[in-house]
Structure 1
Amino acid sequence: MKTRNQKGLESKYWLLIIVAACILCMAATFFAGVKSGPVRVIADYTVVPMQKGINVIGTWVNGVADNFVTLKSVQKENKTLKEQNANLKMENNQLQQKAVELERFYDLYKMDQNTSDYPKVGARVIANDGSNWFTSFTIDKGSADGIREDMNVLSGNGLVGIVTKVNAHSSTVRSIIDEVNISSMIMTTFDQCIVSGDLKLINNGVVKFEQLANNENEVAVGEQIVTSNISSKYLQGLLIGYVSEVNVDSNNLTRSGYIIPAVDFKKLQEVLVITTTKQDLIDNGNQTQSDSSEK
């Protein structure tokens, strides 16, 4: 019981000391306004330094608080800018993709204009044979869209291949680089030759042509080679590629060499299918001749 009273007494003393200190500080602050005298001297050595220290601490605390608020604001703004930057990057990528797609469509449009004699339907490539080259691939149009076997297939730059299999809503196309032989001709001289697909050569970006007559007609690098009028399955005048090399064969009667395909067989996405076949033209021609003879 005595110990408890002692502790209570000590607490009262401490309270009185604190109150006295506060009163003393208030009085010292009041007398600090005195311009002269011993109280002023005492204030200069006690209260004034304490006030300066308190002001410095207060200023520092306010600065820290302001910096904290500014930091929070900057962090929030930085997060917003990062989100905006990510959105802009996404929009930019989409715009670039659309620009490339528009360029491909424009190439298809030009090809459509250059082969306006033939009816065509557009299609998208939806699968290939799993290799790096589109030697055989699937398009999203089939018999329901009027697609039939042996129809020629174009890209925006030239001849791609021929339809080999048709389903209701899809078809398989075999490209000209897949070990096929095409009756062709030089665009300017109409000299006949054979273009041969070769999966090994296409890795070097070329295909071979051969059996070109070694005559007085010069064949320059860059010359266009197109499908010929005597091709059994390919319509006449479809661009295959450009001559990159010409050599005279050992028999001295023929020439052979290499051409760079007009089509990039690694990046096929959209194609045009000519909705008539070489056999259709032959049949129509025969029918026309028959009608004329009957008259």
Structure 2
Amino acid sequence: MILAGSRRRVSLFVALVVLAGALLTLQVRSPERRAVGPVGQAVLSVLLPAQVSLGRAADAVIRSWRALNEIGQLRVENARLRAEVEALRREVARLQEASAEAERLRRLVGFRAPDPYATVAARVVARDPSRWYTTLIVDRGSRDGVSRNDPVVTADGLVGRVFEVYPSAARVLLVTDPRSAVGVLVQSSRDAGVVEGTATERLRLRYLSRSSPLREGDVLVTSGLGGVFPRGIRVGVVRAVVRSVGALFQEAEVEPATDLSRLEEVLVMVRPTAAR
């Protein structure tokens, strides 16, 4: 029984081999060698759906990889462009600052001090935030010919006077300091008064004759009296006139000619040694 079963299996195997050989021979002998034979067609019918699915999956993987690679390249390019933009912004800021400084210096150079004064350009190097409208420090001192009570100006007008001098620096008392008092003239009427500091951004005109035709917009200039400030330096502009009932003098609120809150460079008006 066992022997008979073994013979049947061998016979079946041989028959299948012969059939496969015949089918392959038939395919090879086909007039069109490139045509797919019955066996190939059977195999393709089984494998084609799987091949299509695998091809689509492979295409998706390739597309994803390319997309990831492009994203990486775009990130690198974006980082490079951001760095370039930031560098350009810094360069623009530097050029704008240099242009503004050049304009300020150009205006300072255009200032002409009256005889016998000469001018020494100085940079503001320190300022007390709690006393912004009182004093500041500049980087010029006795080594540069600066001395106490030298007037300090900008191209716009009066800043104050030097009241402390060191070898390489000086402290300037601003016109807005309450300790400051400057003799002035109303430019239009030539009436005299005194401008005092208020420790704020405004000045106070006092001791002006009540009969003076003072009005808003009038310009005040130094009178030259007192020996500290030369005559004719612009001090400020009248912004409000105060005439109190029964008072002998009229007063006014004055806007300084120079923006004292934004000082960066100033001119110290120094006198020759013989004139001091």
Q: Aligning the two structures, in what range does the TM-score lie when normalised by the shorter sequence? A: 0.7 to 0.9
Q: In the alignment, is residue 213 of structure 1 matched against residue 213 of structure 2? A: no
Equivalence for 1:62: 62
Equivalence for 1:151: 150
The AA in structure 1 aligned to 2:82 is: K
The AA in structure 2 aligned to 1:121 is: V
Matches within 5 A, 1:164-243: 164-179=163-178, 180-199=180-199, 202=200, 205-215=201-211, 217-243=212-238
The AA in structure 2 aligned to 1:267 is: R
SS in structure 2 opposite 1:60?
Answer: helix
User: For the Cα contact (< 8 Å) 1:138–1:170, is it kept in 2?
Assistant: yes
In structure 1, the gaps of 5 or more residues are 1-26, 284-295
How far apart are 1:33 and its partner, in Å? Answer: 5.7
Equivalence for 2:79: 79
How far apart are 1:94 and its partner, in Å? Answer: 1.3
User: For the Cα contact (< 8 Å) 2:123–2:139, is it kept in 1?
Assistant: yes
Q: Work out the CA distance in 2 between the residues paired with 1:138 and 1:90.
A: 29
How far apart are 1:173 and its partner, in Å? Answer: 1.1
Q: Work out the CA distance in 1 between the residues paired with 2:131 and 2:54.
A: 76
Q: Work out the CA distance in 2 between the residues paired with 1:175 and 1:55.
A: 84
Equivalence for 1:260: 255
Judging changes above 3 Å, is the alpha-carbon distance between structure 1 residues 91 and 116 closer, same or farther for their aligned structure 2 residues? farther
How far apart are 1:65 and its partner, in Å? Answer: 2.2
Instruction: Report Cα offsets for 1:203-236 as digits up to 9, x if no partner.
Output: xx32110111122x52231111111132332211
Q: Work out the CA distance in 2 between the residues paired with 1:52 and 1:33.
A: 21
- Overall identity of the aligned pairs, in %: 26
Q: Work out the CA distance in 2 between the residues paired with 1:142 and 1:252.
A: 44
User: For the Cα contact (< 8 Å) 1:154–1:271, is it kept in 2?
Assistant: yes
Q: How many residues align?
A: 244
Q: Work out the CA distance in 2 between the residues paired with 1:41 and 1:149.
A: 111
In structure 2, the gaps of 5 or more residues are 1-23
Matches within 5 A, 1:73-112: 73-110=73-110, 112=111
User: For the Cα contact (< 8 Å) 1:105–1:156, is it kept in 2?
Assistant: no
Equivalence for 1:11: none
The AA in structure 2 aligned to 1:227 is: T
TM-score w.r.t. structure 2 length? Answer: 0.79
How far apart are 1:38 and its partner, in Å? Answer: 4.3
How far apart are 1:165 and its partner, in Å? Answer: 1.7
Equivalence for 1:251: 246
Once superposed, what is the RMSD of the aligned Cα atoms? 2.6
Equivalence for 1:34: 35
How far apart are 1:41 and its partner, in Å? Answer: 4.8
Q: Work out the CA distance in 1 between the residues paired with 2:263 and 2:175.
A: 13
Instruction: Report Cα offsets for 1:143-186 as digits up to 9, x if no partner.
Output: 11111111100123211111112121111111111112211110
The AA in structure 1 aligned to 2:85 is: N
User: For the Cα contact (< 8 Å) 2:114–2:230, is it kept in 1?
Assistant: no
SS in structure 2 opposite 1:46?
Answer: helix
User: For the Cα contact (< 8 Å) 1:241–1:260, is it kept in 2?
Assistant: yes
Judging changes above 3 Å, is the alpha-carbon distance between structure 1 residues 143 and 191 closer, same or farther for their aligned structure 2 residues? same
TM-score w.r.t. structure 1 length? Answer: 0.74
Q: Work out the CA distance in 2 between the residues paired with 1:223 and 1:263.
A: 15
SS in structure 2 opposite 1:148?
Answer: coil
User: For the Cα contact (< 8 Å) 1:223–1:243, is it kept in 2?
Assistant: yes
SS in structure 1 opposite 2:252?
Answer: strand
Judging changes above 3 Å, is the alpha-carbon distance between structure 1 residues 132 and 98 closer, same or farther for their aligned structure 2 residues? farther
SS in structure 1 opposite 2:71?
Answer: helix
SS in structure 2 opposite 1:232?
Answer: coil
SS in structure 1 opposite 2:260?
Answer: coil
